[in-house]
Structure 1
């Protein structure tokens, strides 16, 4: 059996793209390299060689693209003590630089997220952009969260005087959006809140990342009602929300439910409830201009002046037979002699289209969000929060009851609040993934004095309080108001992060695979993540001859990172596999954990005989 070595790296997006290109155009590769002249010939009219063609670029775009494609060896460490309902919840709260976290989620959540909502920095000059370090994102993450430096700088302002005002913001957003797109399902959608500082640039990079044809629309949200003056006699009271689909041809939004109160069935029509409709149309011809004779009175009806019937003579007979046209026995001189029915069952949708101005009502303003947070906490903690009602409606418009919702600028976790509220009201089981950089809070602020050291602490506490409040108000005892906390960190496995400056020491460290201070649970969840399982899959422990085996996803993945592994472990795994009968089966062992090399060979052959695929035997 072939043995697979787990490298600890996230998928190499560039290599995967090249492999896809090689499958489509194998003839453009020479000795492993792409012959771009030949590729241009193959693509023909789809190549634009004009040097003055339309193009959106900026300083650092190339580096930002490479950053999105650079594999990561980082991991997400479980933090059970800060979680809620760890064993039963399907929700995730992840602390860390969202760029690195998005890379780590690529394998486990590729194409699985139905909706993304983000409220990124607006680049007003007073907020910040992430200063991505193109060579060491984990080291950079530790610095900006205060884990290494003691200067307290977790965020970087981006004043217009910097000379790179728009550039820094674009370099921050571009790689994150590219990674986010990979996570969207084919019918998925991303909502991005933004104001007029960067809305034009955001449209341009989204057109590139998602495709201009997948621009689904723009929603206007009223932010305030008080008057103000920018100095030129203008009062800005709104911000924008951009909508982009993964594939607009697969996107279906559901607005407010249609009002069918005027539908009824007074004549017991077997087609169900109906209301009176207009049988005429603005345009037509000889085939749709004719008299309709009432069989009870003999009186004719014609279309109104300048109009035509909305059906032909042939269709008229079909409508009469089906009951869609019903003749009256008694009616006044000015009335039409028949009823043209519009059936409720024939409505193309039970909902109206989403109105781009639905959020201009006062209850979507910032002050309502501030009030909402004040009711959960003693004092308001965020200057510009979004009302949960706003995101609640976005989720309602775009998701079904079992979908995954992602927010990778989660702030005070408004999106998680909205997911729980909607689930409580419609019986849904939507799952959320919140990602937030643990930005330290200024020591002299009221927030810090209240006991919250970083934004993540506020977000997690909001979810706890909002969940209990919703559960109490709705009486939904089975509502998932929990969340699993994971924190970004360097790999738990030594050989996945060797010290290149002291390679001899690194090689000797391989005897003990784990980084000092890391737990077996840390390692197990890193393996789950790197093997492509969702972080919320059930994990159970089994004991086979005093050796611990972890079963993830009801036997889909079995992990043993013990020492002195014997054949008894493989026998136990086989029995467990026969009992659980998962659709897929993978096993992972610690490479130096086997008692002898011959035991390793026997374990591998035992599992192969039991049906384990060759590529599914993996060591770390």
Structure 2
């Protein structure tokens, strides 16, 4: 009931490459496990090892090693469903996870490994006033809280990272590194991540992303004009733009095109009433010299004036045969009146790509600005926005277009804030008719005292996020929607909590007979059957948004996930009649509570019954 141990996964990868470098060795507790024989591995890599004081190019900071350990360490947590805070819980394809985003990323590793098409995050900018996460999974939650006394009003592991802190940049890097490492695992091969940041950490973030994603997968450093005006009272040089770093998972990523603007369409006209429609003139000269492109040096005659032009310095852009083809197809333009000495090529609007190639300067007219984002949130919340720093919908819709999202792709935002990304996914799907699945993650960070959020009755940022998604979805459904859209504006709320399994604090030597009787039921008493269902979905790596139905069979409640993908019964008194009924349905997986069987005979016979009636079913008891 733990998240994956990524250290063991890495050992398995080394073992696949160098089997002789992985051996069995006793750990500190005496248990024998697989270990890496680094002496042997060094021998295998003897020509490639850099060690000692030798100079090298690398990214380092105080706390990096601990951040790497944190990224790999497993956690004993689970996701608990909250129906009353969800919308269309049983049918929606969208998730909202409330809790620490590092824990959320660890819990999602099994289910969504390599399945996310796009990640967008707007992390703390590290301005000196932001909070960063104190990640310490080596000690229990109680020990950590008692020892550090660094939690906010909601009990979250958040601390202010002031500029006076001697580890100002290091703490921020230690917070970002494990999250980016785990996020990369979730991206599919043609996936992409977008990260907004300002001047404070843009250089460190780019170095960190080069380290995590590989410099070869850097796609762009975009400048987004977040403001359209500067106050006259500002002293110094004002910043009117933020940065957006774009990295892909691999070279398989192909960015999408942006819709053509009216300004770009105006360039295409039709002064000669060509039946092929609007066109624009393209230069016939090449930047190459006549010496570099001798095959593109030849005389061109203006048919209207008889004047001949022969390149002297720059060559033509096209070879002679191509030029002759242009002439034959009436694609050579000699200007109004036909008297230009140098021709141009007619490039028709119908021949160009369906959209425009993105560039790295995003003016506010095209990508929105912060004032516009605030006003959009004002409208949603009846005139007063409960969140101070939302991102504009134009910006996020532009990012989704560049990410080249297609049907049923997954978009993840694990610094969800006011959930602008969720609304952008709804809007994109509603206008394009392309269903997009979203996963939002937000820690229940307390609203600042006397803030608009607190005044409106929201105790945490996560509550604002969920309410924003509810209101945005309802508003979008009121408007005109694409007929091919599935109109899914719901979300399934899952909250991070401790494992559903009862904690065991005693070793066998310390356990009395009375303790054993108390351990008969290994499930915590406050956990529901649906809680257990979602822990099983996590452990088995089953999609957490699959539709769930309940049926009553022989007086017991049975959950069916996506029809026969999974059947689960966590009631007590399960007998062979129910087991045979479930086996007759031939589910892919079936799970029971270990203490839920009517008697020992039923528990022993379960696997035999399924082996006889449904041999392909995977059977589990928790």
- Selected match of 2:315 from 297, 308, 326: 308
Q: Deviations over 1:393-452 (max 9, x none)?
A: 111221224221111111111111211122221112111111111112245444323211
Deviation of 1:140 after TM superposition, in Å, equals 8.1
The answer to whether the Cα contact below 8 Å between 1:289 and 1:302 also exists between their aligned partners in 2 is: no
Instruction: Mark the CA change 1:244 to 1:333 in structure 2 (over 3 Å): closer, same or farther.
Output: closer
Distance in 2 separating the partners of 1:391 and 1:422: 9
Aligned to 1:121: 124
Aligned to 2:17: 24
Distance in 2 separating the partners of 1:381 and 1:241: 25
Aligned to 1:526: 535
Distance in 1 separating the partners of 2:251 and 2:143: 37
Aligned to 2:29: none
Q: Say whether 1:197 aligns with 2:206.
A: no
Distance in 1 separating the partners of 2:435 and 2:464: 24
- Selected match of 2:7 from 14, 18, 33: 14
The residue correspondences of 1:595-606 to structure 2 (distance < 5 A) are 595-606=598-609
- Selected match of 1:185 from 185, 188, 212: 188
Give 3-state SS (helix, strand or coil) of 2:438's partner. Answer: strand
The answer to whether the Cα contact below 8 Å between 1:111 and 1:182 also exists between their aligned partners in 2 is: yes
Q: Which has the higher contact order (CA 8 A, sep 6+)?
A: 1
Give 3-state SS (helix, strand or coil) of 1:66's partner. Answer: helix
Structure 1: gaps (5+ residues) = 1-7
Deviation of 1:482 after TM superposition, in Å, equals 1.4
The answer to whether the Cα contact below 8 Å between 2:156 and 2:444 also exists between their aligned partners in 1 is: no
Instruction: Mark the CA change 1:38 to 1:214 in structure 2 (over 3 Å): closer, same or farther.
Output: same
Aligned to 1:425: 431
The answer to whether the Cα contact below 8 Å between 1:299 and 1:337 also exists between their aligned partners in 2 is: no
The answer to whether the Cα contact below 8 Å between 1:115 and 1:189 also exists between their aligned partners in 2 is: yes
Q: Deviations over 1:1-20 (max 9, x none)?
A: xxxxxxx1111111111111
Aligned to 2:65: 62
Q: Which moved more, 1:242-251 or 1:516-525?
A: 242-251
Deviation of 1:596 after TM superposition, in Å, equals 3.9
Cα RMSD of the aligned pairs, angstroms, is 3.6
Distance in 1 separating the partners of 2:443 and 2:163: 24
Aligned to 2:575: 566
Deviation of 1:109 after TM superposition, in Å, equals 1.0
Distance in 2 separating the partners of 1:510 and 1:148: 33
Structure 2: gaps (5+ residues) = 25-33
Aligned to 1:48: 50
Aligned to 1:364: 368
Q: Which moved more, 1:354-363 or 1:160-169?
A: 354-363
Give 3-state SS (helix, strand or coil) of 1:221's partner. Answer: strand
Aligned to 2:389: 384
- Selected match of 1:484 from 462, 479, 492: 492
Instruction: Mark the CA change 1:275 to 1:476 in structure 2 (over 3 Å): closer, same or farther.
Output: closer
The residue correspondences of 1:58-97 to structure 2 (distance < 5 A) are 58-97=61-100
Deviation of 1:279 after TM superposition, in Å, equals 4.8
Deviation of 1:344 after TM superposition, in Å, equals 5.7
The residue correspondences of 1:487-498 to structure 2 (distance < 5 A) are 487-494=495-502, 497-498=503-504
Deviation of 1:74 after TM superposition, in Å, equals 0.7
Instruction: Mark the CA change 1:327 to 1:444 in structure 2 (over 3 Å): closer, same or farther.
Output: closer
The answer to whether the Cα contact below 8 Å between 1:256 and 1:353 also exists between their aligned partners in 2 is: no
Aligned to 2:230: 226
Q: Which moved more, 1:75-84 or 1:372-381?
A: 372-381
Q: Say whether 1:355 aligns with 2:386.
A: no
Instruction: Mark the CA change 1:298 to 1:369 in structure 2 (over 3 Å): closer, same or farther.
Output: closer
Q: Say whether 1:538 aligns with 2:544.
A: no
The answer to whether the Cα contact below 8 Å between 2:134 and 2:157 also exists between their aligned partners in 1 is: no
- Selected match of 1:288 from 278, 286, 296: 296
Distance in 2 separating the partners of 1:114 and 1:132: 27
Give 3-state SS (helix, strand or coil) of 2:105's partner. Answer: helix
The residue correspondences of 1:571-582 to structure 2 (distance < 5 A) are 571-577=580-586
The residue correspondences of 1:143-162 to structure 2 (distance < 5 A) are 155-162=158-165
TM value normalised by structure 2: 0.85
Aligned to 1:466: 472
Q: Say whether 1:403 aligns with 2:412.
A: no
TM value normalised by structure 1: 0.85
The answer to whether the Cα contact below 8 Å between 1:589 and 1:619 also exists between their aligned partners in 2 is: yes
Deviation of 1:334 after TM superposition, in Å, equals 3.1
Instruction: Mark the CA change 1:142 to 1:343 in structure 2 (over 3 Å): closer, same or farther.
Output: farther
Give 3-state SS (helix, strand or coil) of 1:181's partner. Answer: helix
- Count of aligned pairs between the two proteins: 596
Deviation of 1:182 after TM superposition, in Å, equals 0.8
Q: Deviations over 1:540-561 (max 9, x none)?
A: 2234333333221221122222
The answer to whether the Cα contact below 8 Å between 2:583 and 2:614 also exists between their aligned partners in 1 is: no
Q: Which moved more, 1:428-437 or 1:393-402?
A: 393-402
The answer to whether the Cα contact below 8 Å between 2:574 and 2:597 also exists between their aligned partners in 1 is: yes
Aligned to 1:132: 135
